[in-house]
Chain A
Amino acid sequence: MDLIFTVAVGLLFAASLYLILHRHLFKLIVGLMIFGLASNLYVFAIGRLTREKSAIIPSDAEIALEPFADPVPQALILTAIVIGFGLQAFAIVLVKRLYQVAGTDDIDELNNTDKIDSTEK
Chain B
Amino acid sequence: MQLEDHLLLLLPILVPFIGAILCIFCWRKVTAQKIIALLTQLGLLASAFMLYRHVALHEIVNIQMGGWPAPYGITLVADMLSCLLLVAGSLAGLAVIIYSFYDLDKPRIRYGYYPVVMVMQMGIGGTLLTGDLFNLYVWFEILLICAFVLITIGGTKEQLEGALKYVTINLIASGLLLVGIGTIYGMTGSLNLAQIAVQAQTMPQLQGLFVVASMFFIVSVGIKAAAFPLFFWLPASYHTPPIAVSAIIAGLLTKVGLYVLVRLFTLVFKVEPGFTMYVLLIMAGLTMVVGVLGAATQNDYRKVLSFSIVSQIGYMLMGLVIFTPLALAGTIYFIMHNMLVKTNLFMVGGAVAQAQGSFKFRHLGGVYKKHPLLAIIFFVSALSLAGIPPFSGFWGKFMLAKAGFESGFYTLAGVSLAAGVVTIIYLTKIWNQVFLKERPENIQTLLPVQPLKNMLQLPMLMLLACIVALGIYAEPFIDITMRAAEQLLNSEMYINAVLNNN
* Contacts from A to B (Cβ < 8 Å): 20, 28, 32, 35-36, 38-40, 42-43, 46-48, 72-73, 76, 79-80, 83, 86-88, 90-91, 94-95, 97-98, 101-102, 107, 110, 112-114, 116-121
CB pair B179 A42 closer than 8 Å:
yes
For the complex, what is the distance from the CA of A47 to the CA of B235, rounded to whole Å? 38
Main DSSP-derived SS at the B contact region: helix
CB pair B172 A48 closer than 8 Å:
no
Interface residues of B in 115-139 (CB under 8 A from A): 134, 137-138
Q: What B residues does A76 contact at CB under 8 A?
A: 134, 181-182, 185
Give 6 pairs: A residue, B residue, CB < 8 Å, sorted on A: A20-B168, A72-B191, A87-B144, A90-B145, A91-B168, A107-B164
CB pair A113 B145 closer than 8 Å:
no
CB distance from A100 to the nearest CB of B (A): 9
CB distance from B143 to the nearest CB of A (A): 12
CB pair A98 B164 closer than 8 Å:
yes
Q: Known contacts being A32-B168, A47-B186, A117-B298, is A87 close to B179, with CB within 8 Å?
A: no
* Contacts from B to A (Cβ < 8 Å): 134, 137-138, 141, 144-145, 148-149, 152, 155-158, 160-164, 167-168, 171-172, 174-176, 178-179, 181-183, 185-186, 191, 235-237, 239-240, 297-300, 303, 360-362, 433, 440, 443
CB pair A42 B362 closer than 8 Å:
no
CB distance from A1 to the nearest CB of B (A): 16
Q: What A residues does B175 contact at CB under 8 A?
A: 35-36, 38-39
Q: Which residue of A lies closest to B235 (CB)?
A: A114
- Indicate which residue in A35, A46, A86 contacts B182 across the interface (CB closer than 8 Å): A46
CB pair B300 A117 closer than 8 Å:
yes
Residue of B137, B164, B185, B240 contacting most chain A CB atoms (<10 Å): B164
CB pair A87 B171 closer than 8 Å:
yes
For the complex, what is the distance from the CA of A80 to the CA of B148, rounded to whole Å? 18
Q: Known contacts being A20-B168, A113-B236, A113-B239, is A42 close to B155, with CB within 8 Å?
A: no
Q: What B residues does A42 contact at CB under 8 A?
A: 178-179, 182
CB pair A117 B141 closer than 8 Å:
no
Residue of A47, A87, A102, A119 contacting most chain B CB atoms (<10 Å): A87
